[in-house]
């Protein structure tokens, strides 16, 4: 019968401070005495060491015993609190952690990784050689202020700040630092943008101005809300012309869609289905959009066609394909659709994204709420009008409690039984028209 291996013993976590200049030995009589060690006077005298929760020993040397004990107490206290960081890890710089973090981030989509690489390049330009444990909230605030002074948009500054916060959140999870210096106090604000929304006349003028092969992409962006890479890669089999459904399956370059939500089918009207079917008939037969040589039109081909035509149709200089998606959102909102329907058609991951981007496009509800209350008076009809006339014709009395008859009765405070009486409640509701 084979012997079972003994379980590995957990090392004792107690710490100690020891004198490296002295050592204990036994003399000829067996008495323990202190004698100078071989390294006496050659190295720092005091060494503090302890064992962490993972069983690894950490040590540090000092010239004074009081400094060694102070450092040891701080490390043991962090172990007890649960926010211990190994001294070696505390020396890791932001640049080194960025490289390590980015290596593990490579499982995301290539476009997502490229965006992270751009963000990290800017972060490393400021924090590259700074130890992770040395970054303070004040440093983060100074960095975001410097980014704004460079002329960067508020939304981009917030994106860079969010990336730095993501780096430190993962570092906390990995035990590299004890806490994240990014918080609500250091946040620079999102800097919400109000996207440009073209008019319907401008959209159709743009449709007529671009080359015929690019026109299906204009329709897919403005009337189905497809993203640029989705419109460029949309295949003929992704459109059900009979039922009027567009179902994106890939992005340009056979890249996967942005999210699983992006696979949601989008209904289109039959008039649009006819225009797309006609484009397929004269196109390359593989994708809906093509270039002048009959090849599938890539994102750059579509954007270049929009840039060449936007000035002649009265669109601003910065107008791009994604603004067609903004037009689609405004079209749905103006039609009275609620936020959940708009979110589904735009294939946003959450309604918060829809509201953050297009919340200002929903009509002001002041008039709607005013009309709701006004309906109470309309339903009351003549009852409210007669009550109003009676109030206007009755002279006011300086002392209502001294009046007699109905005036005195009206000013009397109702009793508890009267307030709880169903007849009293019903009459009150009737007088309000409820």
Digitized pLDDT (tens) for each residue of the chain, 434 residues in all = 455 555 554 545 567 888 888 888 888 888 888 888 888 888 898 888 888 777 778 888 999 999 988 888 887 887 777 666 777 767 789 999 999 999 988 888 888 899 999 999 999 999 999 998 889 999 999 999 999 999 898 889 999 999 999 999 999 888 888 889 999 889 988 766 667 888 899 999 999 999 999 999 999 999 998 999 999 999 989 999 889 899 898 888 878 888 778 888 899 898 999 999 988 888 777 888 888 888 888 999 999 999 999 888 889 888 999 999 888 888 888 888 888 888 888 888 787 777 777 776 666 655 667 777 777 777 666 555 555 565 555 555 445 444 444 444 444 444 544 444 444 444 444 433 33
The correct CATH number of 200-361 out of 3.40.50.2000, 1.10.443.10, 1.10.287.70, 1.10.3680.10 is: 1.10.443.10
Contacts of 323 (CB under 8 A, 6+ apart): 195, 196, 197, 198
Residue ranges of alpha helices (H) inside 174-223 are: 200-209, 215-223
Residues 285 and 236 sit within 8 Å (Cβ to Cβ): yes
Q: Which uninterrupted H or E stretch holds 17?
A: strand 16-19
CATH 1.10.443.10 domain locations along the chain:
200-361
pLDDT at 148: 92
Residue 375, pLDDT score: 74
CATH 1.10.150.130 positions along the chain are 94-173
The CATH number of domain 94-173 is 3.40.50.1110: no
Q: What are phi and psi of 240, to 5 degrees?
A: -95, 100
- Exposure on the CB side of residue 193, measured as CA atoms within 13 A: 11
Residues in the chain: 434
pLDDT at 367: 60
Do 59 and 15 meet the contact criterion of CB atoms below 8 Å apart? no
Hey, what are 166's tokens? Answer: 């993501």
Residue linked to tokens 């708009």: 342
Q: The tokens of 158 are what? A: 């917030």
Q: Please give the pLDDT value at position 147.
A: 94
């Amino acid at each position: 019968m084979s012997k079972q291996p003994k379980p590995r013993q957990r090392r004792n976590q107690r710490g100690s401070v020891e004198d490296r200049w002295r050592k204990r030995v036994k003399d000829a009589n067996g008495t323990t005495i202190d004698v100078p060690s071989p390294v006496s006077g050659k190295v720092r005298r005091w060494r503090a060491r302890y064992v962490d929760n993972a069983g690894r020993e950490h040590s540090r040397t000092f010239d004074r015993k009081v400094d060694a004990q102070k450092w040891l107490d701080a490390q043991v206290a962090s172990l007890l609190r649960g926010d211990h960081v190994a001294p070696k890890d505390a020396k890791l710089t932001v640049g080194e952690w960025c490289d390590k973090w980015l290596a593990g981030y490579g499982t995301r989509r290539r476009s997502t990784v490229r965006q992270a690489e751009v963000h990290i390049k800017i972060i490393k330009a400021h924090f590259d050689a700074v130890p992770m444990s040395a970054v303070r909230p004040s440093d983060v605030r100074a960095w975001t202020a410097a980014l704004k002074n460079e002329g960067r948009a508020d939304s981009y500054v917030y994106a860079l700040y969010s990336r730095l916060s993501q780096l430190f959140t993962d570092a906390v999870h990995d035990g590299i630092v004890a806490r994240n210096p990014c918080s609500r106090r250091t946040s620079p604000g999102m800097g919400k943008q109000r996207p440009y929304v073209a008019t319907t006349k401008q959209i159709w003028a743009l449709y007529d101005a671009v080359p015929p092969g690019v026109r299906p992409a204009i329709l897919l962006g403005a009337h189905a809300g497809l993203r640029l890479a989705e419109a460029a890669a949309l295949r003929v089999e992704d459109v059900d012309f009979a039922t009027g459904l567009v179902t994106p399956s890939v992005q340009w370059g056979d890249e996967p869609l942005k999210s699983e939500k992006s696979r949601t089918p989008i209904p289109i009207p039959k008039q649009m289905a006819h225009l797309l079917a006609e484009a397929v008939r004269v196109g390359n037969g593989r994708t809906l959009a093509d270039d002048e040589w009959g090849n599938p039109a890539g994102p750059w081909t579509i954007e270049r066609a929009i840039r060449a035509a936007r000035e002649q149709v009265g669109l601003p200089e910065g107008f791009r394909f994604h603004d067609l998606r903004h037009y689609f959102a405004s079209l749905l909102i103006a039609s009275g659709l609620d936020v959940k329907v708009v979110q589904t058609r735009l294939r946003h991951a959450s309604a918060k994204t829809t509201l953050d981007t297009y919340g200002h496009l929903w009509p002001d509800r002041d008039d709607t709420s005013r009309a709701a209350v006004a309906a109470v008076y309309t339903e009351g009809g003549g009852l409210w009008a007669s009550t109003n006339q009676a109030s206007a014709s009755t002279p006011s009395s300086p002392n209502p409690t001294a009046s007699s008859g109905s005036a005195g009765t009206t000013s009397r405070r109702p009793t508890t039984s009267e307030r709880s009486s169903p007849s009293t409640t019903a009459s009150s509701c009737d007088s309000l028209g409820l």
